Structure 1
Amino acid sequence: MGTTTRRPGNQRPRVGRIDAARLATVKEQQILVNLVQQLADSQFRRADQPRSERLWQELAQLQLDPERATHLLYAGVDMEDRQALVDLDGRWCGRMAAAERRPWLVAPWLGGGHRVRPRRPSGAHRSAPPAAAR
């Protein structure tokens, strides 16, 4: 028996379970792309400052990362191409997740991928004895 079944009255096939976390991620990404397209229209095409401010406030209320939206706005991708925006956002999220897993790497805009030796706490090594208290 296959994973696709049809129920009477329901014309859509049911395929396995939908992962709730994946569904939430896709939904958030679609909302972000929609807001970014509206922002591009209000900021770049219409120069409508009040509408732009409302959209930025909506972005903040939805607790979406403003850097993520800014990256999409200024990446040079056609704002009408939803799939290109989704792909670009997916790559950006992947890089940010990798950066969280590897905090010892230098940011890509600084040359990226270079290991940085972790700093010692400031009191761990001294070249001179501590000053005497007066």
Structure 2
Amino acid sequence: MPQQPPTTDNRIDATQLSGLELAMDGSSFALQGADCSGNSWSLNLPSACLQQLILTLPNLAVKAMRAQHHDDSLRIVYPAHTVAVELASDHQTFILTLRTEDGFHVSFGLSATQCETIGDSPRRAQLMSKDLSQPS
């Protein structure tokens, strides 16, 4: 049985997200939208909540897409427009930044071994592709 959200007197059944606003000092942000009656709403949160949202929303989006399409193999894939690798200030960690054409970007800290694995991935994928396409 699907789990029902907790009931609350302040529940907003939003139909759209219409804006995002960051406080001038960066201490808080607001999500703005409209509810099913056309009324505007605003949810103000401390900026410390951004990290939670950044880490939670991608997984939630994948779960929603998989549930809607009844397909657990689906993934959200963004085409990379640019790829950058930099050496971090500790001189041991490599920072891999992937950026889409519209400016979305994410950075990961990698070890040298992880970078080597990524660098070898196209060759390994090509070998696997050849193995799969050859008749047994």
Q: Which has the larger Rg?
A: 1
TM category (shorter chain) comes to: under 0.3
Report the TM-score, using the length of structure 1 for normalisation.
Answer: 0.21
Q: Which has the higher contact order (CA 8 A, sep 6+)?
A: 1
Query: Which of the pair is proportionally richer in strand?
Result: 2
Query: Which of the pair is proportionally richer in helix?
Result: 1
